């Protein structure tokens, strides 16, 4: 355990702030006005703590506030206003131990940005290859006459083109393309590479881009990271596969942030259950 508890400004504190500001709840004062609607005043953490709720319930807001208060590593930008730091300053935190420097917040945006970076690198390499192919044919056909020492470099390029096949000429001038995997493979590898041992990790809807099969792989990885690697996790998710993590404390922001006794009571898993129950005969007949 690294993080023991975290408190957010209560509704009265927020009202006083907004009264002094002479304004009302709107996007300009975000994150004020978000978490009181969910009744989220304090979180008492366990090795795995899960924030559950529908879109707009405040899951991501809570994670971002915690991450900023603890100065966790992050990659992608996030939604904030000029009042965000003021809000963070009004929050309280209790630690069991110092936050390890490699602790971080990971979001689905991080995964998408990583995939876009790989694609951008590969597109740059492809464009470079096109230019080199044109240069190769021009050098092969060029009638060149050495007139000064300054021409030696160009002569060297001509000799390279004439002594190599086009593929070898291009390969010697460009790097290899970065392997592009499926979104699910990329997401899994990203989480596995970024989560260090003995750290606090906040995960914002990590199931995005993951098939059910890969969500199960991620769930197993996260379980082992807590059990064997000393990690503490705080996760926002809708995924039944992650909600079922062993020993997880689940806070339902759709129900005034009450702690859920069993993940099977939640609406999202119940929707899956009722769907497959309705179609059970179709599975049994196969």
Structure confidence at residue 7 as a pLDDT band (50, 70, 90): very high
Average pLDDT over residues 117-125: 58
Confidence bin at 180 (pLDDT 50/70/90): very low
Fold for the domain defined by 3-110+197-284:
Rossmann fold (3.40.50)
- Closest among 41, 55, 42 to 268, alpha carbons compared: 55
pLDDT of amino acid 177: 47
Give the chain's length: 286
Interval 37-64: pLDDT, tens: 999 999 999 999 999 998 889 999 999 9
Mean pLDDT of the residues in the chain? 84
108: left (phi over 0), alpha (psi -120 to 50) or beta: alpha
Question: Of 6, 32, 4, 39, which Cα lies nearest the Cα of 18?
Answer: 32
Give the Cα-Cα-Cα angle 99, 17, 5 (nearest 5 degrees): 25
- For residue 125, pLDDT over 60 is answered with no
* Arithmetic mean of pLDDT, 238-266: 95
Tell me the pTM: 0.76
């Amino acid at each position: 355990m690294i993080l023991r508890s975290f408190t957010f400004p209560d509704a009265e504190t927020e009202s006083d702030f907004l009264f002094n500001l002479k304004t009302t709840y709107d996007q300009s004062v975000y994150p004020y006005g978000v978490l009181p609607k969910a009744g989220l005043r304090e979180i008492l953490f366990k090795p795995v703590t899960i924030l559950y709720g529908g879109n707009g319930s405040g899951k991501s807001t809570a994670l971002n506030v915690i991450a900023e208060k603890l100065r966790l590593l992050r990659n992608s930008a996030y939604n904030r206003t000029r009042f965000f730091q003021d809000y963070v300053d009004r929050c309280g935190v209790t630690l069991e131990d110092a936050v390890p420097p490699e602790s971080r917040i990971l979001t689905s945006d991080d995964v998408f940005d990583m995939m876009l970076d790989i694609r951008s690198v590969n597109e740059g390499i492809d464009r470079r290859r096109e230019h080199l192919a044109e240069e190769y044919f021009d050098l092969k056909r060029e009638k060149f006459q050495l007139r000064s020492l300054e021409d030696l470099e160009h002569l060297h390029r001509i000799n390279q083109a004439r002594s190599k096949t086009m593929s070898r000429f291009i390969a010697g001038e460009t790097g290899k393309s970065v392997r592009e995997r499926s979104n699910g493979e990329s997401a899994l590898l990203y989480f596995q590479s970024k989560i260090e041992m003995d750290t606090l990790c906040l995960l914002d809807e990590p199931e995005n881009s993951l098939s059910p099969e890969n969500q199960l792989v991620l769930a197993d990885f996260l379980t082992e990271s807590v059990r064997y690697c000393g990690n503490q996790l705080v996760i926002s998710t809708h995924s039944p596969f992650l909600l079922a993590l062993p020993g997880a404390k689940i806070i339902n922001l759709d129900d005034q942030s009450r702690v859920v006794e069993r993940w099977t009571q939640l609406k999202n898993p119940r929707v899956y259950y009722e769907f497959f129950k309705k179609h059970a005969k179709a599975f049994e007949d196969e």
